[in-house]
Amino acid sequence: MRFEVVKTVFLKELREMLRDRRSLVVMFGLPLLLYPLLAIGITGMGLKRQKELREQPARVFLEHADAAPRLRELIGQKESGLELETAAPSDPDAELRAGKLDAVLHVPLLAEQRALAGEDVEIRLQLNRSRTEAKFVEDKVRKTISDYERWLIEQRLQRLGVPATVLKPLKTETDDVATSDQRFGKVLAAALPVILLMTGMLGALFPALNATTTERELGTLETLLVTPVGRTELLVAKGSLVLLCGLLTAGLNMLSMALVLLRSVSLASQGTESLRISVGALSLAFLAAVPAIIFFSALVLIAGLLARNFREANSFATPCMLVPMAAMAVGFMEPPLSAGLLVTPVVSTTLIIREVMTAHVSVRAFVLAFVSSCVYAGLMLSLAGRLFSSEQLVNPAWEPISMKGLRRATARGVRRLPAVDSALTLFAVSLLLLFYVSPSWPVLWSHVDPNADRHKLLVTLFGNELLLILAPALFFAWLARWRWAQTFSWRPTRLGVLGGAALVGIGLAPWINLLSGLQQMFWPRDPESARMEAELMVPALAQHPVLVIVTVGLLAGICEELFYRGPLQTAFLRRLPPWGAIVITALLFAGIHLDLHGMALRALLGMFLGWIVWRSASIFPAMLAHGLYDSTALALAAWTIRRHGAERVMTETSIPSFHLTASDAAQLIAGALLLAAGWYFCRKSLRPGPQDIAAEPHAALAAPPAVAD
């Protein structure tokens, strides 16, 4: 890497950007002028409206007002904020809907008299919660009812000769130990992550598209690539400017927002709250966001590299802009810190900024979140680097994200291999079906079998595997005229590979159980989802262990392998190096289970299955390994249920604990031996030889992408 070259390109990019008013407005104008003005304007309007709603009396009609004279009196008092409507409405519902009345209180006959006599009396409040005023109306009415209730209690006590002071046995005083900057940090923490990430991405967007799509459209990228400058040097120079813009925009927005929020909160509290900005906390929050901004800068660079023109780049960038919105969702949910969340992209940055702003952050948590974000940023940068190194970069006909694969093969009877776009469409279809249809299987089956609940697992399994996974794959293969044998790797392989794969599948089960238990130690599973899974699995395993073990093994092994290691992996192998195709397929395989907690371990299993299909050019070893892995894992679970009873297993499933018993140790040793033997057989049988023609088709799939002259 030559610094002088990087500097030359960087300065050229900077000069161009400084002459581009649009970028400057987005970078400086938006945060410094428009954004605070808008924020203050909106806050001002909001405060004014709130004041109006607070001060405006709510019109209340009291049904049978004579039955509750004290309540009528309380409503009539000015400080109640209510206004008693004396004219009885002809249709209370209609008047509430039309906004002519704010609330109706239905009081039964002789209500006060009965209440004072010690009876339970029900008062019904009727209002329209679809109106903005409803919250204020409800608060005022409830306060008045509460005052009335208190008066009634006092009257009852008086009749019993008990002083009213018995109602106040305690005096409470609240002392907030949070400092003024911690209190303001709490306010800021809700919005700061999304502002930092969103504006960082927005600031990086235009420079990224200018540096990639626009250069390609203008034909200047080609002129750059025929100079002696290396592609890495070019990417570093261009990426540095993109990142600088992202960081500057995010930083300015952060400062601007902090000042605006401080002013708005001070205005809202009318000086009653003492708030202060902590410069140290803000700086640390910004530092925490830097890797995430690098990640997003690389993401928009990738969007620019993948797009053929500026319009397409914008349409690619739009969904990317939604990714930082995850920060907003996390901000609302405020989940407790856990190691798992601290290594989850975007979530980790959001959480650590919250902890920094409220001065609760620990060095360990900060380092974990920062390092994990750096890893994701590095991965995204390397992907950008890989795309930038593609020789097809200057080819206007290059379509890294093509939709041509979705068309049907020509009528000449030519069959073809699945393209990435069609494989991803297949994945999306199956994912949507699983999301929407899967929960309905037991309900649908209940129309056929009244005892459907007892067969919930098997019904769901058959429905999902056959109709939502296998059927779409076969339908797509028929529709798009894919070559059956090559697409699904439907070829025989050596017995040694099959045997080896079977041993690895069985041997993996106890080890993945162990890893899952270890993961549970630092990233406990959500108890609710653990309970739901246990409710589905444990009774079925307790009732029909053999049937469940065999069915799950067969269906998952056949259907899922035909789907993932079939069209998906075959399509990726055509575009990516084998390791890339295997990893992406494994991640999709893990992702479709919609279980974040089990994702890493499923991806690990998926990588082995992908590797063996790629090396053997046959789907059968993966089917065998997958099926036997699932069956072994279930057999181990069935054995545990048999030993300890279903109820204990159900209770313990949601408790994050990890014990290693002698039986577990024995399983692990047996697993290790099987793994070693299986690996040995696989390697031995897969050793390349002159007769290894079967592996050739997959080698050919890893060819460079298509191009036109």
Q: CA-CA distance, 329 to 190, in Å (whole number)?
A: 10
The interface region with other proteins, picked from 89-97, 225-233, 292-300, 579-587 by CB under 8 A, is 225-233
Q: CA-CA distance, 250 to 256, in Å (whole number)?
A: 10
**Residue 263 touching other proteins (CB under 8 A):** no
**Residue 230 touching other proteins (CB under 8 A):** yes
**Residue 180 touching other proteins (CB under 8 A):** no
Q: Could you say which of 228, 271, 319, 689 contacts other proteins (CB under 8 A)?
A: 228
Q: How many CB atoms lie within 10 A of CB 580?
A: 15
* Closest by Cα among 338, 340, 372 to 355: 338
**Residue 5 touching other proteins (CB under 8 A):** yes
**Residue 652 touching other proteins (CB under 8 A):** no
**Residue 577 touching other proteins (CB under 8 A):** no
Whole-number minimum distance, CB 391 to other proteins, in Å? 5
**Residue 16 touching other proteins (CB under 8 A):** yes
Phi/psi for 234 (5° steps) reads: -60, -45
Three-class DSSP category at 571: helix
Whole-number minimum distance, CB 632 to other proteins, in Å? 37
String of contacts with other proteins for each residue 377-396, x by CB under 8 A = --------------x--x-x
The interface region with other proteins, picked from 84-92, 133-141, 398-406, 526-534 by CB under 8 A, is 398-406
**Residue 419 touching other proteins (CB under 8 A):** yes
Q: CA-CA distance, 571 to 698, in Å (whole number)?
A: 11
Q: Which is nearer to other proteins, 360 or 416 (CB)?
A: 416
**Residue 695 touching other proteins (CB under 8 A):** no
The interface region with other proteins, picked from 7-15, 298-306, 375-383, 457-465 by CB under 8 A, is 7-15
Three-class DSSP category at 85: strand
**Residue 414 touching other proteins (CB under 8 A):** yes
Whole-number minimum distance, CB 26 to other proteins, in Å? 16
Q: CA-CA distance, 165 to 167, in Å (whole number)?
A: 5
Whole-number minimum distance, CB 411 to other proteins, in Å? 13
Q: Could you say which of 9, 194, 339, 637 contacts other proteins (CB under 8 A)?
A: 9
DSSP string for residues in 369-401: HHHHHHHHHHHHHHHHHHHHH-GGGG-TT--SS
Whole-number minimum distance, CB 706 to other proteins, in Å? 5
Q: Which residues contact 462 (CB under 8 A, 6 or more apart)?
A: 441, 551, 555
β-sheet bridge partners, residue 85:
61
* Closest by Cα among 243, 267, 205 to 42: 267
String of contacts with other proteins for each residue 528-567, x by CB under 8 A = ----------------------------------------
Residue with tokens 């799950």: 552
**Residue 664 touching other proteins (CB under 8 A):** no
String of contacts with other proteins for each residue 440-479, x by CB under 8 A = ----------------------------------------
Q: Please return the burial class of 667, using the count of CB atoms within 10 Å of its CB with bins 0-12, 13-18 and 19+.
A: buried
Q: Could you say which of 87, 226, 363, 411 contacts other proteins (CB under 8 A)?
A: 226
Q: Which of left, alpha, beta for 219 (phi over 0: left; psi -120 to 50: alpha)?
A: left
Measure the CA angle with vertex 293, ends 287 and 296; round to 5°: 165
Q: CA-CA distance, 256 to 249, in Å (whole number)?
A: 10
Where does this chain bind other proteins (CB under 8 A)? 5, 8-9, 12, 15-16, 19-20, 218-220, 222-230, 391, 394, 396, 402, 404-405, 409, 414, 416-417, 419, 483, 486, 574, 703-709
